[in-house]
Amino acid sequence: MTLRFWPPACGSPILFDKVSDDSEFVSCFADDQGAETVSSSLSPRITLRSLALAAAILFSLSLCAQNSQPSAAPQPTASQPAPVDAAAAAEAKLEKDVQNPVSELITLPLQNNTNFEYGPYDRTQNVLDIQPVIPINLNEHWMLKSRTILPVSWQPYANQNSGGEFGLGDTTQTFFLAPRGDRKLIWGIGPAFVIPTATSTVLGQGKFSVGPSVLALSQPGHWTIGALVNNVWSVAGSGSRPPVNLMQLQAFVTYQMKKGWYVATSPIIEANWRAASGNVWLVPVGGGIGRITKMGSQPINVTAQFYGNARYPAGSSPWSMRLQFDLLFPEGPKK
């Protein structure tokens, strides 16, 4: 079961199984043999190669998009009044909407999460989340925001230094009911469902889970400050798999700068209430930079973030890299 948050976001916590001594897969969060692991240093393990790769990707995408933008419109002459800058207003609104999980903005995020030093052989785990986000206007006062997360995962075997499983993970479907229009306090509430669509027992939990999800945020000036919390419980599924009781709390803070650039942090704190006491918490710390721009006429959002886990279950990854590319459709649904 994987519940992740989307904008600028979502470090994606990985809830795959680790291998015990008898080569049976059990949940790394529910491993009662594990011990709580505290990272004494987050930064020393980050390789220069990974940092350079993320910076190069982000810079290349931004430069390519900037070069593909059409030339600026001619400036008005002294005898002509300056027109209302509708384009600037639309750009400012888009920057706000991108950071708002319940805005009337259709997006298609492709979020790649790479988790380093996984397991005793320090292997690399990778999850690509395909996350279509679609708002549905119910009437002039209310909207329903649909968000689907379909993970495409590479899960290395934890008990050996080669081999692994590649395929689909469990699908997460979330709906948020939220009021429409501008307001100081933005909020949404709704159900979250985890559907057992994994193509391997290693890539999912084999359970159908459901629970509530609530978010609240505010956007004063250039800031976006908010939090999302949810908890899901398994209600059906394979009787041979352990039950699920998982909480996520994501705080997100973004500061919007000039020319579409922004800095952000959006760690996802997890608590697996059924795990042994030393393996309950996952607490990432970090952040990154992103930019909202265009490729030709298509608005996009690109971001790169790094997170070190101050606390994490035994056998899981101590740090991760998140690269995200979003297609943005500002016109949204029909009124």
The residue ranking higher by pLDDT, 79 or 251, is 251
Q: Quick: pLDDT tens for 120-163.
A: 999 999 999 999 999 999 999 999 999 999 999 999 998 889 99
Domains of the chain, first to last: 7-15+27-66+88-329 (2.40.160.40)
| Residues whose CB falls within 8 Å of the CB of residue 313, separated by 6 or more in sequence, listed in order | 28, 29, 31, 34, 36, 37, 272, 275, 278, 279, 280, 281, 282
Residue whose pair of structure tokens reads 């006429």 in the numeric block: 297
Are 116 and 318 in contact by the 8 Å Cβ rule? The answer is: yes
Q: Quick: pLDDT tens for 158-210.
A: 888 999 999 999 999 999 999 998 899 999 999 999 999 999 999 999 999 99
From its phi and psi, is residue 97 left (phi > 0), alpha (psi between -120 and 50) or beta? alpha
**What is the Cα–Cα distance from 227 to 213, expressed in whole angstroms?**
11
DSSP state of 278: G
User: Which three-class secondary structure string do you get for 207-239?
Assistant: EEEEEEEEEEEECCCCEEEEEEEEEEEEEEECC
**What is the Cα–Cα distance from 331 to 334, expressed in whole angstroms?**
8
Sign of the CA dihedral with 29 first, then 216, 252, and 261 last: positive
pTM, full prediction: 0.76
**What is the Cα–Cα distance from 117 to 319, expressed in whole angstroms?**
8
Q: Quick: pLDDT tens for 44-98.
A: 444 555 555 565 565 565 555 555 554 444 555 555 544 558 888 889 999 999 9
Whether 112 has a pLDDT exceeding 60, the answer reads yes
The residue ranking higher by pLDDT, 114 or 75, is 114
